[in-house]
């Protein structure tokens, strides 16, 4: 099979095993479709199937499963903690092999039209298949639950479904179908029954509230286990890895006096995500993934079978593991990566490190942890920029006659634009934290904090410049709209930071000089007065004891 697509449908049934098995049989009834995994959860009252197959076969398997869910699941009787809008809640297609995001969009549209026409269920397209940015996020469609969606469908013409009737199906509700990159469904369970604790943590870490990039989170109750859960979707583990999210949840839980019970991954997970987590937990220095035994065996087997592999773009080195000299050599090398965005992220990391120094000297642990988390994320973004550039190179090398080339280029360029934009957003946020922290650090390091703020502004401006240059080559209008809106928001935040904390003090000598030039007679009188005062002082020696010539409070830092 040269062309494969993965489908991960979510159904609003997690307690009736007979119904879930009927969904599985529907998928397996299609020749050439392979079921990779399935899960069911009674608290979420939800089941997730993961299968792979050639595009047409995968779409047919998804339709058969939706048809079974429509017959067996009554959404009116559903009581679970997970948000949902239908018996079949969401059906995403994900590129697996030899297909592009554009191929998955076409597949989603074809399935949506069939579901709307044959099953008479309203269909909303989301993520990369969405008609516009307002309906692209899944949470936008789910907002207010089934009742909220029904109200919008009745009162707002913009919320007419993409396919199917303009009213909800009596028992099946509605369904969301789309195309997206791989994501990781990651949940952290807390040793507490306090739902507000998990909701507070979710509000803090999710991206929509200014938290961690590419993280969606909600707090839910697990009544069957007597605990609460922070349920998350990580939409790009390469930017925000699993272990960083876990550590953030653990740190926030400790502030509430709550311990982490365990964590779980729902569905499948890319191997690289777990390798990164293991390398971080073991603090492996300059870990090389090619040293993994299974990868070595796979490479050897490919070589023995005569496979020819051309490395068109070398994987980016871990910039954080290089010495200063090595880093400068890597930047100065005759290669296009690491380049502007990576350097901006590294400069921002240095700026944040100045803030960490001040927080540690002032013994402000909470501020230290917050800034350390930002520095870690900036380091990963510096690394991700090199990876994104490699993906863009691969896409640009496709033949002009290849029908996949435009979509692949647009997708790769979107990621190469998103990363510098994320660097700018995160750096601007870091600058504000440095400004807040500067008021509390020891006086001798306040100047260093100011340097950090200035560097943050410079790095953020540089990253915005890179994003602006990259967007000029984008042809996907939806991507352009999303990036330009985010750039405007970031530019406003940077201007606020600039006004807030970097207004250069006036040069007193220049003011005096200008004043003297404007009123020379006044300057002459001042000089005469000073001359007479100094003579008088010399004639009347002071009776007070001599003071040390050292300036009180001087710091050489």
Query: Domain holding 78: CATH number?
Result: 3.30.990.10
Check residue 320 and give its pLDDT. Answer: 60
- Tokens describing residue 62: 């998804």
What are the C-alpha distances in Å from 30 to residues 53, 55, 115, 316?
9, 12, 17, 41
- Tokens describing residue 39: 């899960």
Going through 318-402 in order, the beta strands assigned E by DSSP cover: none
Rounded to whole angstroms, the Cα distance separating 460 from 474 reads: 21
Boundaries of domain holding 210: 184-284
Residue 530: pLDDT above 60?
Answer: no
Check residue 227 and give its pLDDT. Answer: 93
Same-domain pairing of 154 and 208: no
Check residue 471 and give its pLDDT. Answer: 78
Q: What are φ and ψ of residue 513, in 5° steps? A: -65, -40
More confident residue, 163 or 404: 163
Q: Measuring CA to CA, which residue among 51, 37, 40, 49 is closest to residue 14?
A: 40
User: Final residue of a domain: which of 457, 480, 502?
Assistant: 502
Rounded to whole angstroms, the Cα distance separating 222 from 219 reads: 10
Same-domain pairing of 30 and 150: yes
CATH of the domain at 435: 1.20.120.680
Angle in degrees, 0-180, between the axes of helices 195-205 and 242-255, rounded to the nearest 10: 130
Evaluate whether residue 366 is within a structural domain: yes
Residue 310: pLDDT above 60?
Answer: no
Same-domain pairing of 260 and 347: no
Mean pLDDT value across residues 332-355: 81
Radius of gyration from C-alpha coordinates of the chain: 30
CB atoms within 10 A of CB 296: 11
> For the segment 372-420, what is each residue's pLDDT rounded down to a tens digit?
878 878 888 887 787 777 777 777 777 777 777 777 777 777 778 888 8
Residue 93: pLDDT above 90?
Answer: yes
Rounded to whole angstroms, the Cα distance separating 49 from 528 reads: 92
440 catalytic, yes or no? no
Same-domain pairing of 22 and 65: yes
Residue 72: pLDDT above 70?
Answer: yes
Evaluate whether residue 295 is within a structural domain: no
User: Final residue of a domain: which of 455, 472, 502?
Assistant: 502
Evaluate whether residue 428 is within a structural domain: yes
Same-domain pairing of 174 and 201: no
Name, in order, each residue with C-beta under 8 angstroms of 446's C-beta and a sequence gap of 6 or more: 358, 438
Evaluate whether residue 531 is within a structural domain: no
Residue 479's pLDDT band (boundaries 50, 70, 90)?
low
Continuous segment of H or E residues that includes residue 497: helix 477-501
CATH of the domain at 196: 3.30.70.670
Evaluate whether residue 268 is within a structural domain: yes
Evaluate whether residue 43 is within a structural domain: yes
Residue 495: pLDDT above 80?
Answer: yes
Determine which one of 82, 169, 214, 414 is catalytic. 82
Same-domain pairing of 226 and 143: no
Same-domain pairing of 167 and 259: no
Sheet (strand 215-222) strand order: 215-222, 227-234, 184-190, 260-266
User: Final residue of a domain: which of 502, 523, 542?
Assistant: 502
**Number of structural domains the chain divides into:** 3
Find out whether 287 and 279 touch, Cβ atoms under 8 Å.
yes
CA torsion through residues 124, 129, 131, 136, sign: positive
Residue 546: pLDDT above 60?
Answer: no
Same-domain pairing of 74 and 169: yes
- Tokens describing residue 429: 């946020």
Same-domain pairing of 137 and 207: no
Same-domain pairing of 125 and 173: yes
Same-domain pairing of 372 and 490: yes
Same-domain pairing of 70 and 200: no
Q: Any idea which of 68-72, 292-296, 491-495, 506-510 has the lowest mean pLDDT?
A: 506-510
CB atoms within 10 A of CB 230: 30
Helices (H), 439-476: 446-471
Find out whether 556 and 444 touch, Cβ atoms under 8 Å.
no
Rounded to whole angstroms, the Cα distance separating 537 from 541 reads: 7
Going through 259-351 in order, the beta strands assigned E by DSSP cover: 260-266
Instruction: List the Cα angle 400/6/25 in 5-degree steps.
Output: 145
> For the segment 438-460, what is each residue's pLDDT rounded down to a tens digit?
777 777 777 888 888 888 888 88
Q: Any idea which of 206-220, 221-235, 341-355 has the lowest mean pLDDT?
A: 341-355
């Amino acid at each position: 099979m040269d062309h494969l697509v993965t489908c991960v449908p979510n159904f609003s049934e997690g307690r009736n095993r007979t119904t879930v098995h009927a969904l599985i049989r529907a998928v397996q009834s299609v020749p050439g479709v392979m079921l990779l995994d399935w899960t069911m959860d009674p608290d979420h009252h939800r089941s997730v199937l993961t299968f792979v197959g050639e595009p047409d076969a995968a779409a047919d398997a998804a339709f058969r499963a939706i048809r079974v869910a429509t017959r067996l699941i009554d959404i009116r009787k559903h009581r679970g903690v997970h948000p949902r809008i239908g018996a079949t809640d969401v059906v995403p297609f994900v590129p697996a092999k030899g297909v592009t995001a554009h191929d998955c969009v076409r597949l989603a549209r074809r399935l949506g039209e069939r579901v709307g026409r044959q099953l008479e269920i309203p269909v909303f397209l989301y993520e990369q298949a969405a008609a516009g940015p307002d309906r692209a996020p899944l949470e936008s469609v789910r907002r207010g639950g089934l009742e909220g969606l029904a109200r919008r469908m009745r009162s707002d013409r913009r919320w007419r479904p993409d396919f199917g009737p303009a009213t909800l199906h009596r028992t099946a509700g509605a369904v969301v179908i789309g195309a997206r990159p791989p994501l990781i469904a990651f949940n952290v369970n807390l040793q507490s029954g306090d739902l507000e604790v998990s909701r507070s943590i979710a509000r803090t870490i999710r991206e929509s509230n200014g938290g961690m990039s590419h993280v969606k989170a909600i707090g839910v109750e697990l009544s069957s286990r007597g605990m609460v859960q922070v349920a998350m979707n990580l939409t790009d583990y390469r930017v925000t890895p699993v272990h960083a999210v876990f550590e953030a949840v653990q740190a926030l839980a400790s502030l509430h006096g709550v311990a982490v019970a365990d964590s779980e991954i729902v569905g499948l997970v890319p191997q690289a995500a777990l390798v990164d987590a293991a390398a971080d937990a073991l603090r492996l220095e300059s870990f090389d993934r090619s040293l993994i035994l299974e990868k070595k065996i796979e490479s050897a087997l490919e070589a023995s079978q005569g496979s020819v592999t051309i490395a068109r773009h070398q994987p980016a080195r871990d910039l954080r593991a290089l010495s200063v000299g090595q880093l400068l050599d890597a930047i100065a090398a005759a290669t296009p990566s690491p380049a502007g965005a990576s350097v901006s992220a590294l400069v921002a990391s240095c700026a944040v490190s100045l803030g960490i120094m001040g927080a540690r000297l002032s013994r402000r642990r909470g501020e230290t942890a917050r800034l350390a988390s930002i520095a870690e994320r900036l380091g990963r973004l510096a690394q991700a920029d090199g990876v994104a550039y490699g993906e863009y190179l691969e896409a640009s090398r496709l033949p002009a006659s290849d029908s996949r080339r435009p979509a692949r280029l647009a997708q790769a360029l979107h990621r190469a634009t998103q990363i510098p934009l994320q660097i700018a957003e995160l750096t601007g946020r870091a600058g504000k934290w440095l400004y807040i922290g500067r008021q509390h650090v020891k006086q001798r390091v306040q100047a260093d904090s100011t340097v950090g703020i200035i560097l943050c502004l410079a790095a953020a401006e540089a990253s915005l410049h890179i994003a602006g240059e990259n967007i000029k080559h984008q042809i996907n209008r939806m991507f352009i709209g999303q990036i330009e809106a985010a750039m405007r928001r970031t530019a406003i935040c940077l201007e606020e930071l600039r006004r807030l904390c970097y207004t250069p003090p006036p040069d007193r000598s220049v003011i005096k000089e200008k004043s003297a030039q404007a009123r020379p007679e006044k300057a002459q009188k001042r000089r005469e007065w000073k001359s007479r005062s100094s003579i008088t002082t010399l004639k009347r020696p002071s009776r007070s004891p001599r003071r040390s010539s050292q300036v009180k409070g001087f710091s050489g830092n």
